[in-house]
Structure 1
Amino acid sequence: MKTAVVIALWVVAFWRLPAAIRIPRQRPLWTAFACVAVASTIARPAVKSIMILPIGINNLATVIQHILGMGGSTAVLFFVIAMAKPDALRWGRPLLYSCAAFGSALLVVFFALTPRPEETHNFFEANLGQPMGTAYCLTFLGYLTIAMTIASWLFLSYGRRAAGTSLRVGLRLLGAGTAFGALYTGWRIGHMTTRLAGIPFVTDDDTAQFVADLVEYASIALIILGNSVPAVGVLWRTITYRRALTEVRPLWAWLIEAAPGVVLDEPVGRSPRLQLHRQLIEIWDVVLILRAHASTDLIAAARREAEAARLDPQATDRLAEAMWIRAAWLAAVQGAEPRTDESEATAAEMDTDFDAEVRNVLGLARAFRDPRTTAFAHQHQEQPA
């Protein structure tokens, strides 16, 4: 299980590295995963025996892990504050840096004062009931409890109003993961303080350790999942836009034959969303021009033909629109004079919901290829539509 967690953390860290290099606001989250990945790697016996044990300081790996853990939790706070309450960073940044530095220094002091006669596998268990060891552990756990509680509140608060389903789900999972992190540290604090005070805990030590491990793994899993969901959503939208671009391009290429002047010269970049947005704009610009070639009678005839097909209302609208557009296009490419002044034509309004607009144009593209549309256009070509 621990090996799988370490591998998953490194996968996410390497996955997020390109975005962290390009986008400054992504760097804190990458830093958090990198810190936790390094900390978890150091904890592996093989790595510890090669890199840490030869130094000769018992449990040196533990204090390095915990300082990295503080750094990672601080980075998570930077990320969520920058996203949910960016104005707070002006005064929050120096405060977070100061708290992290003070907490790390305090950790080192308590570590130096804690008796460590031998290397121990589990520093928490080894220091149950020991004053200095407990003080060290409570410093680390208390810092994480505060950081994870604040992060959870901000993630869940922002997740309720974030745009995009995948982002909302991702933020809620991150909030749940940090909440489990706070639950883990709270459980550890309760176990250690009761043992120091000589008060029975709710479970025996072995069960307490099992529950702590279970909650910790759940926290890491939720955080990894929450980090992945928005990225998967972006990937899925990119794939969807590429497919839509492929399907819409024939309609765009066909329509601009009637009005090649609508094609914009400025480069649009490699983003499929931007390319698709450009093509939608140019398609509706051509439709506006073709509207001057369509008489009221032609549009009414297209509506009657589409309704006769007995389709659902949305498909009927798309088919009727495709019919008069294709007839108007045919008239335009044949050199017919416009029936109305172009300025009098009603502009086609794009839907403010981009994905809804993509669906509309995809429906228009399919209707434009419909044999009924072709037959209608040829049947009415003598009406210079």
Structure 2
Amino acid sequence: MRPGLATCVAGFEAVSTVVLLAAVLWRLPSVLRRPQERLLWGTMALTAVAMAMDQPPIARLLSDGPATLCSVALARNMIGVLSACGVLYFVAASGGNRRFKRAVLFAVPFVLAGLVLIAYGVKPPCAEAVPGITGAPRTAGYWVLLGSTHLIADSACAVMCRRYACRSMDRSLRVSLALFGWGAVCAGVFWAGRLVGLITPLGDVVLYLRIALGLHAVLRAAALLVRDLAAVGRAASDARAIWRLWPLWRSLVAAVPHVALKRYRWRGTELLCAPSHWRYLVYRKVIETRDAILVLQDYAHPAALRRARDHVAAAGLPARAARPAVLACVIREACAAKRANLREGGGQESADIEVDRGELAAEIDFLLEVAEAYTSACVKSFVKSAEKPSGRPPPEEPAGKPPGEPSDGPGDSLADKSGDPSSCKPRRARPERQLFGRQPRSKALRSPSR
């Protein structure tokens, strides 16, 4: 065997063992709260212990005591059998297969007793070892029983994990079962190679089999940590949403302060809270942003939407970024009008721009796009290019009326002004939709869960 390759494989196996041990210890507090996870956690703990006992420093440390090298190897293999059968029992119990559960419980004592009898029935006991297996009996019967038990358990586990992963609607459970199944496949490859090694020498192939065993440990650790990794991903997404929504939210709360539960603080202060609280902060900011936009609709001139579209079209933004940019332009002008206390009474031309996207996740994504556009140079130049300092065009006189007659109120819809020279035919009256959304609160905003 090549010394460099053997050193790398030994290092990888040691790292994978440490990763599995760390995953088992990390899940311990959760297992204490959830009894249904204890069986699976126990089998993974047994796997970690068996792999740790297989490391040369730990094996030498244990064999220096009262236990012999053969006893340490036998104990390690028996723990591995218990782990494999425990995983198989867990998968069978999850699928409700009672016959398979009883078969596993019936077979485990016989396999363990067979290993003990074969190990200590060899004359002389444990005199020599199979190459690469420290202290293990050389007899073929021992390895056939041990390898076939692992191979059967890993094969059944891989098949059942694939079957239940395809049926599951929970994404985290589906990923966890898939990783668990691939870990069983890697372990099955290792033990299949060990059984082949009884017939023909494998040479350097043994090292690659150890790599498969290390991959098995890494995949099992990843399967244990899927939900924790998903929680970390959700927390990172919530923190990113809080950080990106803050400029838009601060500007809206400054214009409409009564919609905020608390006065806005420094941008990074809210991220000092616990990550579990970030999801509620995102939910609160979405509520307050929507409420502020609904209040500001009374300060948006009916022509602001048309001018915003023309401004964005002249800037040459892509279609995906145009809609958030148009809404950001109208929001900036409405904020300026609110600060100047120039109330319009609300426009009706707004069917194409709505904040409500039905689902909370979709609404957050849209508001993030609006927040990004709100600080862009295109949107900032919209208010500067307005005809008045407040960012509002002069009121339009309806066509067809004598100069002495009073004009319609500023809250009238553009659809009611049939004499508007900007249109060739009368506009059809739109349903009752506001410039920034349909309802103050959507059904998706009733629950903070995504």
- State TM-score, norm by structure 2: 0.65
What's 2:296 paired with? 290
72-81 vs 313-322, which deviates more?
72-81
Count how many residue pairs are aligned between Structure 1 and Structure 2: 363
Q: Which aligned pairs between 1:320-335 and structure 2 lie closer than 5 A? A: 320-335=326-341
The structure-2 alpha-carbon separation of the partners of 1:302 and 1:156, relative to structure 1 and needing over 3 Å to count, comes to same
Is contact 1:149–1:178 with CA below 8 Å preserved after alignment?
yes
Is contact 1:179–1:219 with CA below 8 Å preserved after alignment?
no
Which digits, 9 at most, give the CA deviation of each residue in 1:323-356, with x for residues without a partner? Answer: 11222233334445462499x99963246483x5
What's 1:184 paired with? 190
What's 2:14 paired with? 6
Identity of aligned residues (%): 22
Distance in 2 (alpha carbons) for counterparts of 1:277 and 1:191: 59
What's 1:72 paired with? 83
Report whether the alignment pairs 1:349 with 2:334: no
Letter in 1 for 2:15: I
Q: CA deviation at 1:310?
A: 0.7
Letter in 1 for 2:53: I
Which digits, 9 at most, give the CA deviation of each residue in 1:47-83, with x for residues without a partner? Answer: 333323532545111221112212333454467678x
- Aligned to 1:55, the other structure's residue is in SS state coil
95-104 vs 326-335, which deviates more?
95-104
Report whether the alignment pairs 1:17 with 2:25: yes
Looking at secondary structure, tell me which structure has more helix per residue. 1
Letter in 1 for 2:286: L
Q: CA deviation at 1:87?
A: 5.5
Q: CA deviation at 1:296?
A: 3.7
Report whether the alignment pairs 1:47 with 2:58: yes
Distance in 1 (alpha carbons) for counterparts of 2:113 and 2:129: 23
Report whether the alignment pairs 1:104 with 2:105: no
What's 1:138 paired with? 144
Letter in 2 for 1:217: I
306-315 vs 218-227, which deviates more?
218-227
Distance in 1 (alpha carbons) for counterparts of 2:89 and 2:289: 43
Residue of 229, 245, 265 corresponding to 2:242: 245
Residue of 171, 174, 181 corresponding to 1:175: 181
Q: Which aligned pairs between 1:1-385 and structure 2 lie closer than 5 A? A: 1-22=9-30, 24=34, 30-57=41-68, 59-77=70-88, 86=94, 88=96, 100=108, 103-118=111-126, 120-122=128-130, 130=139, 134=141, 136-157=142-163, 172-192=178-198, 201=199, 204-205=200-201, 207=202, 210-221=204-215, 223-225=217-219, 227-228=221-222, 230=226, 235=232, 238-263=235-260, 270-271=275-276, 272-337=278-343, 339-340=345-346, 348-350=355-357, 352=359, 354=361, 357-377=363-383, 379=386, 381-382=391-392
Distance in 2 (alpha carbons) for counterparts of 1:95 and 1:285: 61
Letter in 1 for 2:17: L
Distance in 1 (alpha carbons) for counterparts of 2:22 and 2:300: 56
Is contact 2:187–2:213 with CA below 8 Å preserved after alignment?
yes
Letter in 1 for 2:182: A
Distance in 1 (alpha carbons) for counterparts of 2:89 and 2:297: 53
Letter in 2 for 1:22: S
Q: CA deviation at 1:13?
A: 1.9
Is contact 2:69–2:134 with CA below 8 Å preserved after alignment?
no
Q: CA deviation at 1:377?
A: 3.9
The structure-2 alpha-carbon separation of the partners of 1:171 and 1:68, relative to structure 1 and needing over 3 Å to count, comes to same
- Aligned to 1:301, the other structure's residue is in SS state helix
Distance in 2 (alpha carbons) for counterparts of 1:55 and 1:27: 32
- State TM-score, norm by structure 1: 0.74
Distance in 1 (alpha carbons) for counterparts of 2:153 and 2:177: 16
What's 2:424 paired with? none
Larger radius of gyration: 2
Letter in 1 for 2:336: L
Letter in 2 for 1:19: R
Distance in 1 (alpha carbons) for counterparts of 2:330 and 2:317: 17
Distance in 2 (alpha carbons) for counterparts of 1:100 and 1:160: 29
Which digits, 9 at most, give the CA deviation of each residue in 1:129-182, with x for residues without a partner? Answer: x4xx61x33332232222211222244445557789998777545433321322
- Aligned to 1:257, the other structure's residue is in SS state helix
Distance in 2 (alpha carbons) for counterparts of 1:292 and 1:37: 64
The structure-2 alpha-carbon separation of the partners of 1:56 and 1:154, relative to structure 1 and needing over 3 Å to count, comes to closer
Q: CA deviation at 1:116?
A: 4.9
Is contact 2:328–2:373 with CA below 8 Å preserved after alignment?
yes
Q: CA deviation at 1:376?
A: 3.0
Distance in 1 (alpha carbons) for counterparts of 2:37 and 2:252: 41
Which digits, 9 at most, give the CA deviation of each residue in 1:97-131, with x for residues without a partner? Answer: 66545543443344444445345443699756x4x
Which digits, 9 at most, give the CA deviation of each residue in 1:228-275, with x for residues without a partner? Answer: 49566664554454233212222222223344454468x995334453
The structure-2 alpha-carbon separation of the partners of 1:248 and 1:38, relative to structure 1 and needing over 3 Å to count, comes to same
Gaps spanning 5+ residues in structure 1: where? 193-200
Higher relative contact order (CA 8 A, sep 6+): 2
- Aligned to 1:349, the other structure's residue is in SS state coil
Is contact 2:12–2:211 with CA below 8 Å preserved after alignment?
no
Q: CA deviation at 1:34?
A: 3.4
Is contact 1:70–1:143 with CA below 8 Å preserved after alignment?
yes
